[in-house]
Structure 1
Amino acid sequence: MKTIFISGANRGLGLQFAKQYVQQGDHVIACARDLSQAIALTQLAKRHKNIQLHQLDVTNEAQIINLTAHFKNEPIDILIHNAGVGGEQCETLTRMNQKSWLDVLAVNTVAPMLITQALLKNIMASKEKKVIGLTSILASISDNRSGGRYSYRASKAALNQSFRSLACELVDDGVTATVIHPGWVKTDMGGKEGKITAEQSVTGMIKVISDLKRINSGCFFTYDGTELPW
Structure 2
Amino acid sequence: MSTVLITGANRGIGLALAGCFVEAGWDVHACCRHPEKATTLQSLGASVTIHRLDVTDMLQTENLARSLSGVPLDILVNNAGAKEPGSAFGKVPYEEWSRVFAVNTMAPLHLAERFVGHLETGSRKLIANISSRMGSIGDNDSGGSYVYRSSKAALNMVTRSLSIDLADRGISAIALHPGWVRTKMGGSNAKLETDVSANSLKELMLNLRPEDNGRLLNYDGEHIPW
Q: Which residue of 2 aligns with 1:77?
A: 74
Residue of 171, 174, 177 corresponding to 1:178: 174
The residue identity in structure 2 corresponding to 1:159 is: L
Q: Give the Cα separation in 1 of the matches to 2:95 and 2:59.
A: 20
Deviates more, 1:152-161 or 1:98-107: 98-107
* Preserved CA contact (<8 Å) 1:108 1:156: yes
Q: How far apart, in 2, do the equivalents of 1:142 and 1:29 lie?
A: 35
| Partners of 1:217 and 1:203 in 2: CA distance | 20
Would you say 1:55 and 2:52 are equivalent positions? yes
Rounded Cα–Cα distance in structure 2 between residues aligned with 1:68 and 1:59: 14
Corresponding residue for residue 93 of structure 1: 89
* Structure 1 unmatched ranges of 5 or more: none
- State the TM-score, normalized to the length of structure 1: 0.95
- CA–CA separation in structure 2 for the residues paired with 1:194 and 1:136: 14
Summarize the alignment of residues 1-230 of structure 1 with structure 2, pairs less than 5 Å apart: 1-44=1-44, 48-88=45-85, 90-230=86-226
Distance in 2, Cα, partners of 1:23 & 1:104: 32
- The normalised TM-score by structure 2 is 0.97
Q: SS at 1:120's partner residue?
A: helix
The 3-state SS of whatever aligns with 1:86 is coil
CA deviation profile, 1:7-35 (whole Å, cap 9, x unmatched): 00000000000111011110000001111
The root-mean-square deviation of aligned C-alpha atoms, in Å, is 1.0
Q: Secondary structure at the match of 1:57?
A: coil
Q: Residue 210 of structure 2 aligns to which amino acid in structure 1?
A: R
Question: Separation in 2 of the partners of 1:61 and 1:214?
Answer: 31
Instruction: Provide the C-alpha distance between the structure 1 equivalents of 2:166 and 2:211, rounded to a whole number of angstroms.
Output: 12
**Unaligned stretches of 5+ residues in structure 2:** none
> Deviation string for 1:132-191 (max 9, x for gaps)?
000111011011111111110000000000010000101111111000100000111111
Q: Say if 2:87 and 2:93, in contact at 8 Å, map to a contact too.
A: no
Q: Quickly say closer, same or farther: Cα 1:7–1:115, change in 2 above 3 A.
A: same
Q: CA separation in 1, counterparts of 2:190 and 2:199?
A: 16
Q: Structure 2 CA distance, aligned partners of 1:146 and 1:223? A: 21
Q: State which drifts further: 57-66 or 153-162.
A: 57-66
